[in-house]
């Protein structure tokens, strides 16, 4: 009962995306199972039980980032329950996020990305054109995977050279497109419209003409990044990091990158300055005679 109401709250009041809502519900469901194992009801959760839950996750080797996400989900859930008078007091008020080790975002080097687009062969068919365009869209725009999946053909303005994407919390933003990318998009659309139902407006489709799904996009990115880099993570989000890092390294203003990425505040974008500084230190050590 509570979960259904919580889902409506996240969708209609918080206006979170379906992907985000599912993540919240998964976290809350897992916590509910933990409570069941200890014979504890939703309304009788204590600070001690919450600490036990956090400790158990850490002991399982769950990363601090994931633990903090789950903590945030539970805090949001209980804040909702208290607000709507389903419980008399909120047990998560004193529940804090755990400290996490700061890590720099992974990105692919510029030469490797150039090699990917200039030297790696893609099949000369719909899948080949589609996969290469997926990679180019990520690298040239910095958009998120969910944003790419939901792009419609009508979202591309060839005259103004922009693409409209729907970001987190249904916030729209326009991203400029280069002439080369627009040309690739145009060639792909010609092939795509010849093969599939024109009534389906989604830009990226499966080989069966259905809307592309998240795992399929991940497989495409992972496959082709494996040809050009040895970094551990080879995901669509790595291409988002790569876009931001390369833009910053080439002199782009941090506020401009923030707008292109669709970040709500500048602090989320500033992490890319660390990558730039690490590069400066590397250059310094290589170039200075007494470094």
Does residue 15 have an active-site annotation? no
User: What b-and-e string marks burial along 149-175, b requiring 16 or more CB atoms within 10 Å of the CB?
Assistant: bbbeeebbeeeeebbebbbbeeeebeb
| Both tokens assigned to 1 | 């009962």
With tokens 């729907």, the residue in question is 166
In the chain, which ranges are E strands? Answer: 156-157, 162-166, 172-176
| Both tokens assigned to 19 | 């992907």
Cβ-based neighbours of 194, under 8 Å, separated by 6 or more:
none
> Rounded distance, CA 73 to CA 51, Å?
15
In the chain, list all ranges with CATH 1.10.150.130.
2-83
In the chain, list all ranges with CATH 1.10.443.10.
110-286
Does residue 263 have an active-site annotation? yes
Q: In a 3-state reduction of DSSP, which class is residue 116?
A: helix
**Over 70: is that where the pLDDT of 62 sits?**
yes
* Per-residue model confidence as pLDDT tens digits over 259-277: 999 998 888 888 777 666 6
What does DSSP assign to residue 43?
Answer: G
Candidates 132, 144, 192, 246; catalytic one: 144
> Rounded distance, CA 186 to CA 91, Å?
55
Candidates 240, 241, 246, 258; catalytic one: 240
Predicted TM-score (pTM) of the model is 0.69
* Per-residue model confidence as pLDDT tens digits over 164-208: 999 988 889 999 999 999 999 999 999 999 999 778 899 999 999
- The torsion angle over the Cα atoms of residues 234, 235, 236 and 241, rounded to 10 degrees, is -60
Contact 258, 142 (CB under 8 A): no
Strand partners, 176: 162
Q: What is the CATH number of domain 2-83?
A: 1.10.150.130
Cβ-based neighbours of 246, under 8 Å, separated by 6 or more:
107, 110, 113
* Per-residue model confidence as pLDDT tens digits over 226-244: 999 999 899 999 999 999 9
Contact 139, 245 (CB under 8 A): no
CA 70 to chain centre: 17
pLDDT of 278 reads 63
Q: In a 3-state reduction of DSSP, which class is residue 173?
A: strand
Contact 265, 234 (CB under 8 A): no
pLDDT of 106 reads 87
Q: Quick one: pLDDT band at residue 290, thresholds 50, 70, 90?
A: low
Q: What is the CATH number of domain 110-286?
A: 1.10.443.10
Candidates 69, 164, 237, 274; catalytic one: 237
> Rounded distance, CA 253 to CA 276, Å?
13
Candidates 7, 69, 168, 173; catalytic one: 168
Candidates 24, 188, 224, 272; catalytic one: 272
**Over 70: is that where the pLDDT of 4 sits?**
yes
- Which candidate, 148, 139, 133, 134, places its Cα nearest to that of 114? 139
Does residue 272 have an active-site annotation? yes
* Per-residue model confidence as pLDDT tens digits over 72-109: 999 999 999 999 988 999 999 999 998 876 677 889 99
CA 115 to chain centre: 24
Distances (CA, A) of 206 to 8, 88, 146, 163: 30, 49, 15, 21
Give the chain's radius of gyration (CA, Å).
22
Does residue 145 have an active-site annotation? no
């Amino acid at each position: 009962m509570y979960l259904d109401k919580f889902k409506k709250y996240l969708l209609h009041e918080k206006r979170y995306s379906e992907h985000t809502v599912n993540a919240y519900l998964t976290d809350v469901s897992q916590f509910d199972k933990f409570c069941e194992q200890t014979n504890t009801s939703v309304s009788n959760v204590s600070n001690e039980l919450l600490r036990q839950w956090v400790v158990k996750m850490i002991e399982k080797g769950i990363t601090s980032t994931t633990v903090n996400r789950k903590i945030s989900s539970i805090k949001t859930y209980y804040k909702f329950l208290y607000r709507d008078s389903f419980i008399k007091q909120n047990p998560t008020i004193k529940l804090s996020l755990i400290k996490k080790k700061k890590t720099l975002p992974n990105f692919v080097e510029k030469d490797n990305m150039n090699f990917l687009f200039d030297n790696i062969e893609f099949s000369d068919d719909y899948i080949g054109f589609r996969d290469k365009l997926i990679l180019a869209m990520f690298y040239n725009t910095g958009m998120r995977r969910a944003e790419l999946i939901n792009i419609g053909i009508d979202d591309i303005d060839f005259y103004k050279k922009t693409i409209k994407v729907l970001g987190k919390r249904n916030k729209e933003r326009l991203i400029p497109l280069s002439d080369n990318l627009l040309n690739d998009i145009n060639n792909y659309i010609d092939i795509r419209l010849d093969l599939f139902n024109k009534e389906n407006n989604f830009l990226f489709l499966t080989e069966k003409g259905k809307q592309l799904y998240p795992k399929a996009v991940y497989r495409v990115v992972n496959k082709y990044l494996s040809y050009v880099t040895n970094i551990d993570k080879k995901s669509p989000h790595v291409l988002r990091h790569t876009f931001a890092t390369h833009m910053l390294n080439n002199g782009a203003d941090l506020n401009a990158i923030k707008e292109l990425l669709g970040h709500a505040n500048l602090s989320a974008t500033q992490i890319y300055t660390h990558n730039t500084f690490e590069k400066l230190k590397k250059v310094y050590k290589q170039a200075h005679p007494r470094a």
